[in-house]
């Protein structure tokens, strides 16, 4: 399977614990995105990497959240001191660099299956 993979698929933790999720993007993709999705909502942007550089972070990403992509391949998202409000699906997506064709920019993201987090 050459798609985006995420591990674990499900995580149940107690409030105050730390959790770490992993994302393995499509191998030739140099861009990697993390999103959070709650029930009945669309994905909300958290952060994005181009290769190993973290280029943008949403203000949704509090200081309890940290993401890394040390070698420009897989990425990890860590949540420290989890709170019940952190319960959500955490989605990873990857893409290749935007293409410019005929004056139009196009970037296509491919999503992983997500990690569903439940904080008790």
Partner 1 sequence: QKEVEQDPGPLSVPEGAIVSLNCTYSNSAFQYFMWYRQYSRKGPELLMYTYSSGNKEDGRFTAQVDKSSKYISLFIRDSQPSDSATYLCASYTGNQFYFGTGTSLTVIP
Q: Please, which residues bridge with residue 105 across strands?
A: 100
Which range of residues in 12-20, 68-76, 80-88, 104-112 is near partner 1 by CB under 8 A?
104-112
- 55 dihedral zone (left: phi>0; alpha: psi -120 to 50; beta): alpha
Check residue 51 for interaction with partner 1 (CB under 8 A): no
* Shortest Å distance, C-beta 81 to partner 1: 27
Among 13, 57, 74, 113, binds partner 1 (CB under 8 A): 113
Catalogue the long-range contacts made by 14-19 (C-beta closer than 8 Å, 24 or more residues apart).
14/82, 14/119, 14/120, 15/82, 15/83, 15/84, 15/119, 15/120, 16/81, 16/82, 17/81, 17/82, 18/78, 18/79, 18/80, 18/81, 18/82, 19/78, 19/79, 19/82, 19/117
Is residue 91 a contact point for partner 1 (CB under 8 A)? yes
- 56 scored as a contact of partner 1 (CB under 8 A): yes
Instruction: Lay out the site mask for partner 1 across 17-46 (x = CB under 8 A, - = otherwise).
Output: ----------------x------xxxxxx-
Q: Which of 17, 18, 62, 108 is in the footprint of partner 1 by CB under 8 A?
A: 108
Residues that bind partner 1 (CB under 8 A): 4, 6, 33, 40-45, 48, 55-56, 91, 93, 104-114, 116
């Amino acid at each position: 399977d050459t798609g985006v993979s995420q591990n674990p698929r499900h995580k149940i933790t107690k409030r105050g614990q730390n959790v770490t999720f992993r994302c393995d993007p499509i191998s030739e993709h140099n861009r990697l995105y993390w999103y959070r999705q709650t029930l009945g909502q669309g994905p909300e942007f958290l952060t994005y990497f181009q290769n190993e550089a973290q280029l943008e972070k949403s203000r949704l990403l509090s200081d309890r959240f940290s993401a890394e992509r040390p070698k420009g391949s897989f990425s990890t998202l860590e949540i420290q001191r989890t709170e019940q409000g952190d319960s959500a699906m955490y989605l990873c997506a990857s893409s290749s660099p935007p293409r410019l064709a005929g004056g139009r920019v196009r970037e296509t993201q491919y999503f992983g299956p997500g990690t569903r987090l439940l904080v008790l």
